[in-house]
Amino acid sequence: MNNEIIVNFTPTGLIPLKSQTPFVPVSVNEIIDDVLAACEIGITTVHLHARNDDETPAYEAEKYASIIEGIRKYQKKLVVCVSLTGRNVTEFEKRTSPLHLTGELKPDMGSLTLSSLNFNKQASMNSPQTIIDIAALMQKYSIKPELEAFDTGMINYAKYLIKKGYIKPPYFFNLILGNIACAQANLLHTGMMINDLPENSFFAIGGIGQNQLKMNSIAISIGSGIRIGLEDNIWFDKARTKLATNTALLKRAKTIIEANERIIMTSEKFRKNLNLKEGNGNYGENQI
C-alpha cells in the first residue's frame, strides 16, 4: 500500500469519564495539551470531541472553537476534524454547529457516520436524510467528510452518496471494527471492508477496546492508517491491568511503525492527498 502511515488521533470521544480513567482529556485545556503532546510524537490528523464541565458531550461551536484555537496557536498545519456524531444529539442544527466556524477556527473535516448503528448500550442515529443533509452542508462550506464505516454496508452507502454527488474524491474512511453490532475485528471482515472501498480512497483502521492494538498493527503492516486514542480504548494491555494514556498509546504505535520500516504521514502530505487547503490560516477543502 504505502510507506507512510496516517495516524488519526482520537483523544477524547464521548464515553470515557474521569471516574473510569484520570487520563482522558475532557476540559478544553486538557484536550489541547494532549493534542500538542501528540504532535510532538507524530500524528497526521486529530478527530475532536468536545465536553461540557460535567463531562457530558458538547456540540456547541463555541466549545470546539476554543479547542481549535488552542491547537492552532502552535500547530497551524495539523488537519482538524470535528465530530458530528448522532449518539448524543439528533437535531440537525446541533450536530452541525461546528461546521459554521470560519477563518482560523474552521475545521478541515467533519465526521460523517454512514448509517445508524447500535453500540453496547446506546444507538447512533443517522437517518438517510440526515446523512445527505450533513454531507451537503459540508460540501457547501468546503469541509471534507471523514467517512465513518463500521461495516461493508456503510461503505456501500458511501458509494451511493458518491453517485448522487454528495461527496467527492479523494475520500478518507475510518474503518472501525469490533463493535458488537457491526464488523468484527478479524482479518476477513477487515479485508472485505478494504476490498469494497471506492477508488481514490485513503483509510485508517481502528479497533474498539482491546481490539485497538490488533487492528492498528494490521493497518501498519499493510501500510494504510491507524485510528488511535482513548476514545476507543482506555486500557494499555489486554488484561486490563494498566490504564493507557494517549501519549503511551501513540509512542507504542510509533515503535510498531518504525519496526515495520514505515513513517508517519505528515499533515502537509495528508492535505495534498485529500485536496485540502495548506493550513496556516487556510483550512477546509479546495474546490474541485
On the question of a cis peptide bond just before residue 170, with omega within 30 degrees of 0, the verdict is yes
pTM over 0.95: yes
More confident site: 1 or 199:
199
For residue range 21-49, what is the model confidence (pLDDT) as tens digits?
999 999 999 999 999 999 999 999 999 99
pLDDT at 122: 83
Average pLDDT of the residues in 149-167: 97
In the predicted model, is pLDDT for residue 239 greater than 80?
A: yes
Q: Three cell numbers at 64? A: 470546539
pLDDT band at 118 (very low <50, low <70, confident <90, very high): confident
Average pLDDT of the residues in 226-232: 98
In the chain, where the domains are located: 4-274
Average pLDDT of the residues in 181-205: 97
More confident site: 87 or 195:
195
**Alpha-carbon span 205 to 219, nearest angstrom:** 6
In the predicted model, is pLDDT for residue 151 greater than 60?
A: yes
In the predicted model, is pLDDT for residue 288 greater than 70?
A: no
| Contact criterion met (CB below 8 Å) for 80 and 71 | yes
> What ranges in the chain are assigned the alpha helix state H?
28-41, 61-72, 92-95, 128-140, 152-164, 187-196, 211-222, 246-259, 267-274
**Alpha-carbon span 249 to 21, nearest angstrom:** 14
Average of per-residue pLDDT values in the chain: 96
**Alpha-carbon span 220 to 208, nearest angstrom:** 17
Portion of the chain with pLDDT greater than 90, in percent: 93
How many CB atoms lie under 10 A from the CB of residue 22? Answer: 9
Closest C-alpha to 55, from 63, 45, 47, 43:
63
For residue range 64-73, what is the model confidence (pLDDT) as tens digits?
999 999 999 9
In the predicted model, is pLDDT for residue 125 greater than 90?
A: no
The residues, any chain, with a CB within 8 Å of residue 144's CB and separated by 6 or more, are 108, 109, 110, 138, 172, 274, 275, 276, 284, 285
pLDDT at 124: 86
pLDDT at 2: 80
- The architecture in CATH of the region 4-274 reads Alpha-Beta Barrel (3.20)
